[in-house]
A = this chain, B = another copy of it.
Amino acid sequence: MDQHNQNSVSLGELERFCHSVLIACGANEATADAVTRAMMHGTRHGVDSHGVRLLDHYVRALEGGRINKNPDLKVANAFGAIETLDAGDAHGALATYTAMDHAIALAAHFGIGAVGIRNSSHFGPAGAYSIEAARQGFIGFTFCNSDSFVRLHGGAQRFHGTNPIAVAVPSAGENPWLLDMATSAVPFNRVLLYRSTGTELPQAVASDSAGIDTRDAEAVDMLAPLGGEFGFKGAGLAGLAEILSAVVTGMRLSFDLPGMISSDMATPRGLGAFVIAIKPDAFGDQATFDAGMARYLDVLRNSPAREGQHVMAPGDREWAVAAEREKAGVRIDPATREAFAALGETYGVTLHFS
């Protein structure tokens, strides 16, 4: 491994490395599988903020006790087409894949199913779970709240998390339609990128610690909700994710959550989340649904673009990145490479760069 001259890794090798480290740190098989799969969804599809760079953080949370290495996931409550899953401080990836599996089973039986998740933890990319439903022929919804980092519309302090909403819809013979969005105006990673490049932020997407808009990435203390002048929409969507994930499940509201980044890696954070699966052919016949999706996507992909821009269906960018990374592998950023070297040392696992 000559990581100083080479910096591309194949997706398969990355997957093997992550899984081996998780097993070596003591996570059970189900946890190692789920966490690797969720991180690889992020890395494969270009959502690098929620990809393998999280491995180091997750290992520290597993080792510290914040996340249970051998959790006991239990259905705490079942009522018709819904369930409440107590994840027993499992990793959020295991909790949410499990919840989506249950929601799919409920939807297969009842046409729709929903699962509220209790005692979970950071789950990474929300789209990973919705896409699982779509791959099995169901429309999947995933919601989560997270520690406060986004102001309210008109507000001057951190209130909601970036509270993502992800929806995936099956599209026969094609990759699913996939919307995976934070409800903030910009992702925090954009701020980090602008900090490192010294670029000014777009107007009205972030504020300083007094809630005043700033274009100086260094001064950013909170993000604005999606929607600009109509930011009540982004704040409302964040509220929807918050209510489903934390109020319906009886878990912690964003402003009551201990931070993800914290010196306390021993105390479970009490995160909730919420998933829904819908069986589209329960409403009519599969052929009508498939034909409708095909026509919708065909007209969309062939519609005229604005000058210098192009039109894509939700998810198209992700599939393009995945195709490229399947072929060429993925470059690992310096901080993650360093963390991987240390993890490899600690757990006796080697990452082979290509």
Contact = CB atoms under 8 A, between A and B. Distances in A.
Interface in A242-291: 242-244, 246-250, 253, 255, 276, 278-280, 282-284, 288-289
Contacts of A236: 167, 179, 181, 314
B114 A112 contact: yes
Interface in A73-125: 77, 79-82, 84, 109-114, 116
A307 B213 CA distance: 11
A299 interface: yes
B248 A280 contact: yes
Ranked nearest first, the 10 interchain pairs of A and B with the lowest CB-CB distance are: A80-B110, A82-B111, A179-B236, A154-B309, A247-B292, A79-B282, A81-B110, A250-B288, A81-B81, A79-B111
Interface residues of A, number: 82
Interface stretch (A2-10, A37-45, A225-233): A225-233
A310 interface: yes
A348 interface: no
A239 interface: yes
Given A247-B292, A250-B288, A300 B152 contact: yes
Nearest to A239: B314
A226 B229 contact: no
A112 B249 contact: no
Majority-rule SS of A interface residues: mixed
Interface stretch (A26-34, A155-163, A322-330): A155-163
Interface in A139-194: 139, 151-157, 159, 167, 169, 177, 179, 181, 185-186
Given A185-B230, A202-B229, A243-B296, A306 B177 contact: no
Contact of A299 (B139, B229, B253, B288): B253
Copies of this chain, whole number: 2
Nearest to A202: B229
A341 interface: no
Given A186-B230, A233-B226, A304-B156, A82 B311 contact: no
A179 B244 CA distance: 14
B114 A278 contact: yes
Contacts of A339: none
B299 A179 contact: no
A283 B99 CA distance: 13
A114 B114 contact: no
B242 A296 contact: yes
A73 to B, nearest CB: 16
B295 A253 contact: yes
Given A226-B227, A278-B114, A306-B211, A292 B250 contact: yes
A253 B110 CA distance: 26
Nearest to A228: B228
Contact of A211 (B156, B279, B304, B312): B304
Contacts of A206: none
Contacts of A112: 80-82, 112-114, 276
A305 interface: yes
Given A154-B305, A239-B313, A243-B293, 14 more contacts: A77-B283, A81-B81, A82-B278, A116-B283, A139-B248, A159-B299, A167-B240, A186-B230, A226-B227, A228-B228, A243-B296, A246-B296, A248-B289, A253-B299
A311 B113 contact: no
Contacts of A80: 81, 109-112, 282
